[in-house]
Amino acid sequence: MATRTTPLTLPEIEYMLPGNRSCTGCGLSIAYRHGLKALGGEVILTVPASCLTVLQGMYPISSMLVPCLNTAFETTAASASGIKAALKALGKDNITVVGWAGDGGTADIGIQSLSGAAERNTDFIYVCYDNEGYMNTGTQRSGSTPYGAFTTTCTMGKMEHKKDMPMIMAAHNIPYVATVTPSHPMDLFDIFKKAKDMYGTRYIHILIPCPPGWGYEPQDTIQMGRMAVQCGMFDLYEIIDGKFNFYGPSQKIADGGERLPVDEYIHAQGRFKGIATEKIVEIQRWVDRKWAIYKENGYCKGGRG
Ligand SMILES: Cc1ncc(C[n+]2csc(CCOP(=O)(O)OP(=O)(O)O)c2C)c(N)n1
Ligand code: SF4
């Protein structure tokens, strides 16, 4: 097993300065900070309309120390492909190109340009930060919003389950797919570091707890990400060249450890307030079925190497 980063070995250098414009307790700010540390300074980002554009701020008062192109909502992967091609034409092979978009910008409007780039195995890292809704514009429903959650565009609770974006990307046979949360920041750092050293389309999916969008107090962000994993609503894994491996708490569950019921996670969040009992039963059924499929596929043994 590769050496794991710890808070003591985490690089001190910062590319995201204090004083950014995200909400208090934003999970995205934790993920972005640690992701950028791992990527290092030789990077160009492309980011569509989203909370991340707000977090970064506008020139000349941006809190970021890395170059970023703000692109149109549906064009993250297309714009990353263009940046990569331009760098290649200039003979600059040492710069990592990263597209970093929300779940709306990824699972919904940006999926076709992402699919095209992945099919071509374009050499870039694509990050989907999944706060499970269109949060920047006031908490609308996305294809990644979980079943039963209330949003401003599904006021009776969402009727459909979440789109499985990491597995959709894995079906493109790209070299690297990984899932993580900001509640596991050292794993997040290591995943970005690993992705940086690979060639081809690398996809990282980050579940982002979001206090205003999910309806919980800002100090509970870390706990919210942990609970999502402990109850199996969100799972931590890597797929390297088609080989699937759980890691961390998800590996413990896969090895026979306890998976908590979804109730506590659901009841901790205002977006599920007033949800009918039968809908919680349906969410539990969805999680159980997902884990049964992991088992059938032989994923429930071994860990991250
Ligand atoms: C073509 C287009 N449609 C709609 C918008 C308005 N818009 C800007 S940000 C946003 C929501 C983005 O959601 P997501 O990608 O999930 O990121 P988040 O806001 O949650 O960070 C929308 C709908 C836009 N900029 N362009
Ligand atoms: S709405 Fe959510 S994701 Fe967006 S900045 Fe605020 S806490 Fe972060």
Residue 78 confidence (pLDDT) above 80? yes
The mean-pLDDT minimum among 29-43, 105-119, 288-302 falls in 288-302
pLDDT (tens digit per residue) in 145-174: 999 999 999 999 999 999 999 999 999 999
Mean confidence (pLDDT) of the chain: 96
Q: Residues 6 or more apart from 51 whose CB is under 8 A from it? A: 22, 26, 28, 102, 131, 135, 136
Q: Residue 50 has which token pair?
A: 């989203």
Ligand 1 within 6 A of CB of 102:
yes
Q: Relative to the CA of 54, which ligand 2 atom is closest?
A: 5
The pLDDT of residue 18 is: 86
**What would the mean pLDDT of 33-38 be, rounded to a whole number?**
98
pLDDT tens readout for residues 171-207: 999 999 999 999 999 999 999 999 999 999 999 999 9
Does the pLDDT value for residue 305 go beyond 90? no
CA-nearest residue for atom 2, ligand 2, is 210
- Which atom of ligand 2 has the smallest separation from the CA of 214? 2
Ligand nearest to the CA of 221: 2
* 225-276 pLDDT tens trace: 999 999 999 999 999 999 999 999 999 999 999 999 999 999 999 999 999 9
| Cβ burial, residue 186 (10 Å; 0-12/13-18/19+) | middle
- How much is the CA Rg of the chain, to the nearest whole Å? 18
Q: Listing from the earlier edge strand, what are the strands of the sheet with 201-207?
A: 68-71, 43-48, 96-102, 124-130, 201-207, 176-180, 237-240, 243-246
Q: What's the CA-to-centroid distance between 90 and ligand 1, angstroms?
A: 32
pTM of the full predicted structure? 0.97
Q: Is the CB of residue 76 below 6 angstroms from any atom belonging to ligand 1? A: no
Residue 101, pLDDT > 50, answer: yes
The band of 58, judged by pLDDT with boundaries at 50, 70 and 90, is confident
Q: How many contiguous H segments (helices) and E segments (strands) does the chain have? A: 12, 8
Q: Which of 36-45, 126-135, 189-198, 292-301 has the lowest mean pLDDT?
A: 292-301
266-294 pLDDT, tens digit per residue, is 999 999 999 999 999 999 999 999 999 99
Mean pLDDT, range 32-48, rounded to an integer = 97
pLDDT on residue 60? 83
User: What does the block give as tokens for 235?
Assistant: 């799972």
Share of the chain above pLDDT 90, in %: 93
- The set of long-range contacts for 86-94, using a CB threshold of 8 Å and a minimum separation of 24, is 87/44, 94/42
Q: What is the pLDDT of residues 2-21, one digit of tens each?
A: 679 999 999 999 999 888 89
Ligand 2 center from residue 23 Cα (angstroms): 5
- Separation in Å, CA 9 to CA 33, 150, 236, 245: 15, 41, 22, 24
Tell me which of 20, 109, 126, 134 to substitute to probe ligand 1's pocket, judged by most ligand atoms within 8 Å of the beta carbon: 134
pLDDT of residue 61: 84
Q: Which atom of ligand 2 is nearest to the CA of 208?
A: 3
Q: For ligand 2, which residues put their CB under 6 angstroms from it?
A: 22-23, 26, 28, 51, 55, 131, 135-136, 208, 210-213
